Chains A and B, each alone.
Chain A
Amino acid sequence: MNNSLLVVVLASGVAYGTPLLYAALGELLAERSGVLNLGVEGMMLVGAVMGFWVVQRLHATTGISLAAAIGVAAIAGAAMALVHAFLVITLRASQIVSGLALTIFAGATGLSSYLGNDLHLADNPARHSFHPVFPSSMQNWPIAGPILFGQNVLVYASWACVVAVSLYLSRTRPGLNVRAVGESPAAADAMGIDVTAYRYAHTLAGGALAGVAGATFTLAITPQWVDGITGGVGWIAIALVIFAFWRPELCLVGAYFFGALQALAPQLQARDIHLGPTVLWTNSLPYLMTVLVLVVVSSSGARRRLGAPSALGVPYVREER
Chain B
Amino acid sequence: VRIERRLRQPRWLTVVVPACSLVFAFFASGLVLLATGHDPFSSYRKIVDAAFVSNGALGQTLISATPLAFTGLAAAAAFRMRLFNIGGEGQLYLGAITAAATGLYLGGSGGASPFVIAAMIVAGCAGGAAWALIPGILRAFFRTNEILTSLMLNYVAAYLLTYLIFNSESYWRQTKGFNATVFPVGKDLPSSAVWPGATIHVRGGITLPLGAGLAVVAALVLWFLYSRTRFGFEAQVLGDSPRAARYAGMRTRRKILAVMAISGALAGLGGASQDGDFRHTLDADPNGLQRQYYGYTGIVVAALARYNPFAVVLVAFLVGGIQNAGNTLQGADFPSGLVGVIQGLILFSALGGELLVRYRVRFGRRGVERALEPAA
Contacts and interface: CB of A to CB of B under 8 A. Distances in A.
Contacts of A83: 348
A91 interface: yes
B325 to A, nearest CB: 14
A94 B336 CA distance: 28
Contact of B156 (A96, A101, A106, A284): A284
Given A104-B347, A279-B163, A279-B167, A114 B144 contact: no
A216 interface: no
A284 B134 CA distance: 15
B15 interface: no
Given A100-B86, A104-B343, A239-B152, 20 more contacts: A91-B355, A92-B3, A92-B355, A96-B84, A97-B347, A98-B351, A100-B296, A100-B299, A104-B299, A109-B293, A109-B339, A110-B344, A111-B344, A114-B341, A227-B336, A235-B148, A242-B145, A277-B167, A280-B160, A284-B160
Interface in B73-96: 79, 84, 86
Given A38-B147, A96-B147, A277-B167, A87 B155 contact: no
B55 interface: no
B6 to A, nearest CB: 13
A83 B347 CA distance: 12
Contacts of A294: 138, 144-145, 148-149
B144 A299 contact: yes
Contacts of A227: 336-337
Contacts of A117: 335-337
B143 interface: yes
A108 to B, nearest CB: 8
Nearest to B340: A110
A101 B345 CA distance: 8
Given A104-B347, A111-B32, A284-B159, A295 B337 contact: no
A115 B348 contact: no
Contacts of B293: 109
Contacts of A298: 142-145
Interface in B274-305: 293, 296-297, 299-300, 303
Contacts of A287: 152-153, 155-156
10 contacts: A42-B344, A87-B351, A87-B352, A98-B348, A98-B351, A102-B348, A106-B344, A239-B152, A280-B159, A290-B152
B351 A118 contact: no
B168 interface: yes
Given A97-B347, A101-B344, A277-B167, A114 B148 contact: no
A231 to B, nearest CB: 8
Contacts of A288: 152, 156
A107 B153 CA distance: 18
A87 B344 CA distance: 13
Contacts of B149: 291, 294-295
Contacts of A295: 138, 142, 144, 149
Interface string B132-164: 000000100011110111011101100110010
B308 to A, nearest CB: 16
Contacts of A235: 148, 151-152
A152 interface: no
B144 A105 contact: no
Contact of A101 (B151, B335, B351): B351
Interface in B330-359: 335-341, 343-345, 347-348, 351-352, 354-355, 359
Interface in B1-21: 3-5
B332 to A, nearest CB: 10
A228 B293 CA distance: 12
A96 B352 CA distance: 13
Nearest to A114: B337
Contacts of B179: none
A94 to B, nearest CB: 7
A36 to B, nearest CB: 9
Interface of A: 38, 42, 83, 87, 91-94, 96-98, 100-118, 227, 232, 235-236, 238-239, 242, 277, 279-280, 283-284, 287-288, 290-291, 294-295, 298-299, 319-320
A306 to B, nearest CB: 12
B282 to A, nearest CB: 15
B322 to A, nearest CB: 12
B36 interface: yes
A109 B351 contact: no
Contact of B343 (A38, A110, A280): A110
A80 B352 CA distance: 16
B340 A104 contact: yes
Contacts of A238: 148
Interface in B107-151: 138, 142-145, 147-149, 151
A40 to B, nearest CB: 11
Contacts of B347: 97, 100-101, 104-105
Contacts of B167: 277, 279-280
Nearest to B38: A118
Given A93-B351, A114-B336, A105 B344 contact: yes
A288 B142 CA distance: 16
B20 to A, nearest CB: 14
A121 B300 CA distance: 28
A93 B355 contact: yes
A299 B140 CA distance: 11
A2 to B, nearest CB: 30
A42 B344 CA distance: 11
A100 B304 CA distance: 13
Contacts of A110: 337, 340-341, 343-344
B341 A93 contact: no
Nearest to A239: B148
Contacts of B340: 104-105, 107-111, 113-114
A287 B87 CA distance: 13
A113 B148 contact: no
Nearest to A36: B147
B78 to A, nearest CB: 12
B59 to A, nearest CB: 23
Contact of A104 (B84, B168, B344, B354): B344
Contacts of A101: 300, 303, 344, 347-348, 351
